[in-house]
Each structure stands twice: as C-alpha cells, then as structure tokens.
Amino acid sequence: MTRRIGIAILCGFVLIAGWPLLTEDVFLQRIGALVLLAAISASAWNLIGGYAGQVSLGHAAYFGTGAYAALVVYDQLGWPPIAGAPVGVVVSLALAAIVGTPTFRLRGHYFTMATIAEAELIRILASNWALLGAAVGLMGPAVPRGIADLSFISPLPYYYLFLAVLVMLLWLTWMMQRSRMGFYLAAIRGGDRAARSLGVPVLRYKLYALLLSAGFTSLAGTLYAVMVGFIDPDSGLGILLSVKMVIIAALGGAGTLFGPLVGAIILIPLEQLTNDVFGGSGTGITFIVYGAIIVLIARFQPGGMAEIWRHVIARAARRRAA
C-alpha cells in the first residue's frame, strides 16, 4: 500500500516537472506557471495560517510589497524588476515584525480582523501614494532590455523559475515541520494557553512563522510582477488576493505540506475555465464559485482534500486488514 502511494507521488512529481514539455499549447503552459505561483503564495500563507493556525486574511500586504518593490526599483532606478526581490523581502519582514508583534496577542477572529484592517489600511495608503503610481499603478519594462529583465514570451522560463522557488519553499517547510519549530507550531495551533503551559515561547514562534511566511509571500509578489509587468492597488493589494491564498490552502488542506499545491492544481484551472466560459463578467462569476467552494469546505470538509485523502488511505488499509 505505502509503495503504491509512493509510486503515485513520484508520478505526480514527474508530471509537474515535465508538464510544460508535454504540451505545445502556450495557454496550458501559462496555466501551469500560474498554478505554481499560486502554490508558492498559498504555501507561504500555510506556514502561519495552516501550521501555526493563525488565520491571516491580510497576506495581500506582503504580496503587494514584493510586487511593488519589483516595479518601483525599475521605475525609479531603472534596475531589472527581479532586483526588487530582496527589497520587497526586507520591507515585508519589517512590516511583519512591526504589525505582527502586537497582533499576535489577539486570538481567533480578532487576529483575522486585525490582519484585514492592516492590509486594507496599506491598500488605501498605496492607492494615494505617487511613488507607487497611486490608483493607476506601475508598469514594468515595455521591451526587455536584456536577459536580467526576465521578460520572456514563452511561459517556460517562468514555469521553471517558479518551480525552483516552490521546491525550495516546500523543502524548508518540510524541514521546519520535522524540527522543534514544527512541534511548537502544532502546539500553538491547538491553543495559545495550552502551548504556553507546555513551555512553548508562543509569541516568538508565531513571529518566526510569520516572518518566513511574509518573506515568501513577498517573493511570490515579486515573481508575479516580473511575469505580468504591471501592478495596481487591486491586483497587488486587494483583499481578494489574501482570500485566494486562504482558499487554495484550505481546499488542499491547511497545515499539510502538499495541501496548497493540490489546492492550486484544482482551483487555478477552474478559475481559467470560468473566466473562459463566462467571458467579460468572468471575474465576478469566479468569485461566486470561490465563495461557494469555501462555504462548502467549511460546512462539510473543514480539513480540505487532505482529509478526504486520509479517509481513502484509512479505508484501503481497513480493507487490506479484513
């Protein structure tokens, strides 16, 4: 049984690694890249929202910081957008440390609401800040000036760039999960008070998880801006971005290593499909679908796909035993 699961997982990896080579269709290759990008930001959210159980609905703030950093260094200094990555990460870490520390005293819903208010505050400020292009937004290089601009027509280079980042993030998550920090976060997820009574430094480890999470979310934002070459307050800082990260992680299984990747593989093609089918007003329909999906998850399957997967394995094991 475990062997068969191992083979299935291996096949999954091979499929993901080879996906853009299997198809000539640029559209499908592009969807592949978008799936990986969504998986990166959802996996980053998963560190604080899934593993530590602190449901943030304000991660758009970090995503937007990374995205804006890429296009601000281009716009102001003429640097290639990817050079904004370290800038975005540093600003995001500072932001996370400043707003995270007091916010972590809040539990449950209160934490979630505070994260929404923080992100909305930042969105309003960015919408009125000339350096960030205010409500109009910023553009990347119209014509690539060199390889460093990472401006390609084919989605292939983006696909493998995103895959590399995702593998790094998942590897770090896996290491974290097996380390002392993983156990601390699991305790924190069970409840602040209980964790503290076990001697877990709750605030410090929540902050570590948030810093790691914010850094990678910011990186995802930079990658998005590099690929799309345009950012405005809605596409970079809108609350729906935060919601999307949460839905993807929750659909696949929050607090599991591969949950966000599975969620992205299901949801991003679905989003493209609804956009195609419903055309111009597609974005509206997409969010009706998103809303319905999370209502159904919350109502019937709070553990996400990971829970279904566990049931399947458990049933198979029982059948073997019988």
Which segments of the chain are extended strands (E)? Answer: 138-139, 230-231
Stretch that binds other proteins, among 33-41, 103-111, 160-168, 256-264 (CB under 8 A): 103-111
Is residue 139 a contact residue for other proteins (CB under 8 A)?
no
Is residue 197 a contact residue for other proteins (CB under 8 A)?
no
Measure the CA–CA gap between 260 and 20, rounded to whole angstroms: 20
Q: How many CB atoms lie within 10 A of CB 215?
A: 21
Count of alpha carbons within 13 angstroms of residue 155, beta-carbon side: 23
Q: Which is nearer to other proteins, 201 or 284 (CB)?
A: 284
Q: Which is nearer to other proteins, 27 or 110 (CB)?
A: 110
CA 87-97-239 angle, to 5 degrees, is 75
Least Å distance, CB 295 to other proteins, is 4
Q: Which is nearer to other proteins, 156 or 239 (CB)?
A: 239
Give yes or no for a contact between 258 and 249, defined as CB atoms under 8 angstroms apart. no
Q: Which residue from 118, 149, 192, 271 is in contact with other proteins, where contact means CB under 8 A?
A: 118
Q: Which tokens in the block code for residue 231?
A: 């950012």
Measure the CA–CA gap between 319 and 315, rounded to whole angstroms: 6
- Distances in Å between the Cα of 34 and the Cα atoms of 41, 60, 275, 298, 300 are 11, 17, 14, 25, 28
Q: Which residue from 143, 281, 320, 322 is in contact with other proteins, where contact means CB under 8 A?
A: 281
Is residue 128 a contact residue for other proteins (CB under 8 A)?
yes
Is residue 223 a contact residue for other proteins (CB under 8 A)?
no
Q: Which is nearer to other proteins, 52 or 150 (CB)?
A: 52
Is residue 112 a contact residue for other proteins (CB under 8 A)?
yes
Stretch that binds other proteins, among 81-89, 158-166, 212-220, 278-286 (CB under 8 A): 278-286
Q: What are phi and psi of 231, to 5 degrees?
A: -145, 140
Least Å distance, CB 30 to other proteins, is 24
Least Å distance, CB 226 to other proteins, is 29
